[in-house]
Structure 1
Amino acid sequence: MHKRQFLMTVAASGASRAALPVSALLGACATGAGNGTADAIYFGGPILTMNDAQPQVEAVAVAGGVIRAVGRREAVFGLRGPATRMVDLQGRTLIPGFVDPHSHLGGVGLQAISANLLPPPDGDNSSIAGLQQTFRRYLRESKEPAQLGMVFGFGYDDSQLEERRHPTREDLDQVSMQLPVVAIHQSGHFGALNSVALARAGITAGTPDPEGGVIRRQAGSREPDGVLEENAFFRTLGRLMPRLTTEQAVGWLEQAQQLYLQYGYTTVQDGRADPQAVATAIAAAERGRLLVDVVSYPDILQLGEGAFMTGAYYGRTYKNRLRIGGVKLTLDGSPQGKTAWLTQPYRVPPAGQPPGYKGYGVLSDAQAHAAVARAVEHGWQILVHANGDAAIDQFIGAVRAAGPQVRARDMRPVLIHGQTLRRDQVSMLKELGIFPSLFPMHTFYWGDWHRDSVLGDPRAQNISPTGWVLEAGLRFTSHHDAPVALPSSIRVLDATVNRTTRSGRVLGPEHRVSPWTALQAQTLWSAYQHFEEDRKGSIEPGKLADLVVLSDNPMTVERHKLASIQVLETIKQGRSVYRANA
């Protein structure tokens, strides 16, 4: 049996680490030793390499920010010198640094300075009244409203509010009638505005819905009720955002960076970055303010002439910890918000929509094909947001139209989210060389909502179908889509392994995977998605010393306790950049 399969089998049976063959776990000797001494040697706890050929070792030597040797303790200790730091893990677990396969670093910066409107367990908001109370407390205690001249809140979720609806302009008018108030939905695809914000944005009864978006109206009239969907929200938010100084914008990014470090990420993605977000990341890089590697994917629809794609930061090599890795395209919306584009109707249509409602796309087929063709023509890796299976069909069609060069040139186009990916579509991903980055975290946050209201069974059971993907011989990555959810690597791990909903039910048991596979999806396979598998994602000689110390071993802890694991330390190229309770 293959070593990885054996390791997964033992973990699945709950057997202890001691039951594994010593040779399979530790390797016969240290590899990659060479000459010279180590800056640091880690030992004294489980070291999970994510390398199938040598899954676990006793010690790791680091020199010059690079992994120098791994293997048996006595062999690696041969690299000890007078100045070598000997780091005893004291039973804690060492793994590679987490590589973020999809999120929005710039959005997390906005989240970091906003009122926390998240529902439990990440916030305290379970009702409209609770949201109002959170906003009022934020106004009293935070300096941002006065500095920005407006009030932001992030993370409300209508599916988790007692009222099962979005807050309206009237609800937010009770927070303030002097300042614009914007409440951003947890999906990031909706926003609710008070009357002051609507007036400042110029949205009135006479304002038409934009293409790919909806301005929701009060019953029986054209008067806006304050809730904006998709492009209506994105464009309005862009108009309302206050102008920041470069230092303020970099400060927001640094606050976001700290949140990722807290969860063990050593590489972070900024997906669908607008021009200002790219400029801010470059400013942070030039000022030496990035502690993690940041890979940015600008919105292809906002590229203009594509200056970012020809500048010093575009390519496979980081400069000052930043690189522009490709482009991002969005084809539909949010399944929990019921704007994702489906081929079959929603189980319960959203307010104001008729039976048979299937959501909607953002672009025509011709526009989607043109965007993908542009990326392929220039050799840009493209990440495509497609939640609904109709949107996934559109993406598949666009890649197919781009021709065999996509696969021949190993361009690794990425399907982002793929929530309602059908089984027949999985084989098409394999045929066309499309890499799936899935979102099993939805099973916890919105699994019950998917089953009861959004999709119903059996579709809800098969959201983010990792089982089908593995069955087809494909790899996948598993993401959090921050700021949609907190960038919690541990919550991602737990959801990918257990697929347990808020109510404690298992959604799609056949799509559960082993802890080893889930960890690879967050490390080595994520590095592969970014074309960085040669230098990141596993603990092997020659790779960067991007490491994370965990409180417990994911391979041996009881599966239902995975969510209780804590990130104790994050190490970027041999340097400690985060310590819990430091």
Structure 2
Amino acid sequence: MKHHLAIACSLLALTACDKTSEQTAKTLPLQVSAADTIYYGGDILTMTGDEPEYAQAIATQGDKIIFVGDKTKALEHKFGKTKLIDLQGKTLMPGFVDGHSHVYAVGLQAMVANVLPSPDGDANSVEQIVNILTAAQNNPDYTTFIEKTGAILGFGYDDAELDRYPTKMDLDRVSTEKPVIIIHTSGHLSVANTKALAMAGIDENTENPDGGIIRRMTNSQEPNGVLEENAHFGLLFKLMKSVDPDLQDLMLQEGQKLYTKYGYTTAQEGRATQEAYDSMVRASKADKFVIDIVAYADMATSSGFMDSAYNSNTYTNHFRIGGVKLNFDGSPQGKTAWLSQPYLKAPEGQEQGYAGYPTFNDEQAYQYIETAFANDWQVMTHANGDAAIEQFLNAVESANNKLGKKDRRPVLIHGQTIRQDQVNRLKELGIFPSLFPMHTFYWGDWHVNSVLGHPRADFISPTQAVRKQGLMFSTHHDAPVALPDALRVLDATVNRTTRTDQVLGPEQRVSVYTALQAMTTWPAYQHFEENSKGQLKQGMQADLIILDKNPLKIKPVELHNLQVLETISRGETVYSKN
């Protein structure tokens, strides 16, 4: 009897336990993960819709976002070591994704003399350039490069802001013993002193290379030191051969620091040479990258490393190869872009009617695009002038007809002088435009007064025209053409004001939210990374930035005064203003 009673009591106890367990299960959250960090207390802009959407809180674990939404539910992910971050009214949003630039060259810019004009430098005259270069020889920020290469290099001269065009005679005043070279702000021209020209083997008997020009002294064949396009790149590539691996690696790390300062969690190397690729591989293997770097091989010179294991949709220690890059022409502000109609004012040494020139003939251009498509390489093509843009559009159309159309996302880089009829063709051809509205600030006045004139200047980087076609687009700074200043990009896209506070093409302005999409969600799509970046969603990469104010809640004219307070890459803080 006692035995049966004990069994009965045990059964009653088990039933009671089952009921208790069932009740407990109903009150405790299921499969709740412990967050590393929970952010709340500010404007959390998710960038997930066509209109602004906000969340009360966001929780991250490792390199992923694990919750976005209500603060109370977010706090269910709080366990012993979870950090709670009160934003105190500041704004958190996805990290900026770089639509196009050159992170490796930004490192070069950081280590050589700054000959940019104001507001980014002090070189507003040729005399100031000479003084800056002379002082650079004793400036510890620049002596490492000089000692390693034996050359004095400056970056960023801008003839649009100078009193006259510099020549080799000006740079000979800096040194006749060392090569002295200054690179144009566009990156498409340079000026070399007599020693540097000799180093490059350029003299009065040297012919212009294909796709380049050696400018000459008046009524003479003697070079005046100014080199355009392939003449310039030939000199630059020779100089970079003297940069040893230690200096290359230092350049890359210095460049990366600038991107984190401006809120970028993905940066691009938009024209990778073999030397740049080798440096990025070393950085990846040594785990030196703190943000994602996606590289595009210079197809004309360096496509040999496209068979690398890094040519992948996934990153290895923050690095991957995304595809190839082509240059179909030059720079509008440097007046080397290939236009269908003449420049308003021809550059020095050219007659009226000059309209720039192409890098490749049609046969070469078409073959490059077809080869990229045949290899399933995403191809980005620099085309600034409308004649170069037409060549790119036609090359893509030809390749689509031969190989069949699919989701390859070829990218038009810059597209500065794209015409409305060309905008209309982008969607049909499956081309993604990455535009350059920073030109409205830096060179807008120059475009009006010297490069294009009205009405062509009003239509540069026509973001609203592209949007009206229902297209996504990205925006960029093309650093080191300008500093990788994301907030200057935002300001220019929204306001389109020039240095003299003129509005250039007001009908092409877009809303602040659209401009933010072009720096987060849409460039993520451009890189085939829309499922991991550009929005704050569960499962997305924990790439975040904290701004001092909400861009959507301040006056548009104040956008360039916004400050990045913190940059968080894959859940780790990689930059803090404090």
* TM-score grouping bracket, smaller chain normalisation: over 0.9
1:86/1:118 Cα in 2 relative to 1: closer, same or farther (>3 Å)? same
Report 1:54-453 matches (<5 A): 55-142=53-140, 143-144=143-144, 145-163=146-164, 165=165, 167-303=166-302, 306-404=303-401, 408-453=405-450
1:7 matched to which residue of 2? none
Residues in 1 aligned to 2:126 and 2:115: alpha-carbon distance in whole angstroms: 10
Q: Which runs of 4+ in 1 moved over 6 A?
A: none
Q: Which piece of structure 1 moves more, 248-257 or 138-147?
A: 138-147
After superposition, residues 566-581 of structure 1 pair within 5 angstroms as 566-581=563-578
Q: Which residue of 1 aligns with 2:4?
A: none
Deviation per CA, 1:229-266: give whole Å up to 9, x if none: 00000011111235233232111100000011100111
Following TM superposition, by how much is the alpha carbon of 1:323 offset from its aligned partner in structure 2, in angstroms? Answer: 0.5
**Aligned match of 2:556:** 559
Q: Is the 8 A contact 1:45 1:90 kept in 2?
A: yes
Match of 1:533 in 2: 530
Structure 1: gaps (5+ residues): 1-31
Cα separation, 2, equivalents of 1:95 and 1:160 = 36
Give 1:494's aligned amino acid: D
Query: Once the 2 structures are TM-superposed, how far is the Cα of residue 109 of structure 1 from its aligned partner?
Result: 1.4
Larger Rg: 2
Name whichever of 495-504 and 398-407 sits farther off.
398-407
- The aligned amino acid for 1:461 is D
The structural deviation recorded for 1:139 is: 1.1
SS for the counterpart of 2:138 is helix
Q: Is the 8 A contact 2:40 2:86 kept in 1?
A: yes
Instruction: Output the CA distance in 1 between the equivalents of 2:174 and 2:241.
Output: 20
Is the CA contact 1:33–1:68 (under 8 Å) kept in the aligned structure 2? no
- Whether the 8 Å CA contact 1:69–1:76 is kept in 2: the answer is yes
Cα distance in 1 for residues equivalent to 2:193 and 2:304 = 37
Q: CA deviation at 1:405?
A: 7.5
* Equivalent residue runs for 1:471-482 within 5 Å: 471-482=468-479
User: What CA distance in whole angstroms lies between the structure 2 residues aligned with 1:36 and 1:96?
Assistant: 22
RMSD of the alignment, in Å? 1.3
Question: Shift of residue 33 of structure 1?
Answer: 9.2
Alpha-carbon offset, residue 192 of structure 1: 0.3
Cα distance in 2 for partners of 1:135, 1:245 equals 22
* SS of the residue 1:333 aligns to: coil
Are the structure 2 counterparts of residues 33 and 272 from structure 1 closer, same or farther at C-alpha, using a change threshold of 3 Å?
A: farther
Q: TM-score of the superposition, structure 2-length normalised?
A: 0.93
Paired residues, number: 546
Query: Residue 307 of structure 1: CA displacement?
Result: 3.8
Structure 1 residue 309: deviation in Å? 1.5
Secondary structure of the residue that 2:42 maps to in structure 1? strand
- The answer on whether the counterparts of 1:246 and 1:283 sit within 8 Å (CA) in structure 2 is no
Question: Is contact 1:45–1:58 with CA below 8 Å preserved after alignment?
Answer: yes
Aligned match of 1:550: 547
Q: Which amino acid aligns with 1:231?
A: N
Distance 1:406 1:67, change over 3 A: farther
Percent of matched pairs sharing the same residue: 52
2:365 match: secondary structure: helix
Give 1:34 shift. Answer: 5.0
* Structure 2 letter corresponding to 1:159: A
Can you list the C-alpha shifts for 1:199-250, whole angstroms capped at 9, x where unaligned? 1111100000000000000001000000000000001111123523323211
TM-score (norm 1): 0.92
- What is aligned with 2:12? none
Describe how 1:475-554 pairs up with structure 2 within 5 A.
Answer: 475-554=472-551
- Uncovered stretches (5+) of structure 2, i.e. residues with no partner: 1-28
Contact 2:59 2:67 in 1 (8 A): yes
Residue 44 of structure 2 aligns to which amino acid in structure 1?
I
Query: 1:407, CA displacement in angstroms?
Result: 7.3
Query: SS of 2:295's equivalent?
Result: strand
CA gap 1:182/1:33 in 2 versus in 1, 3 angstroms: farther
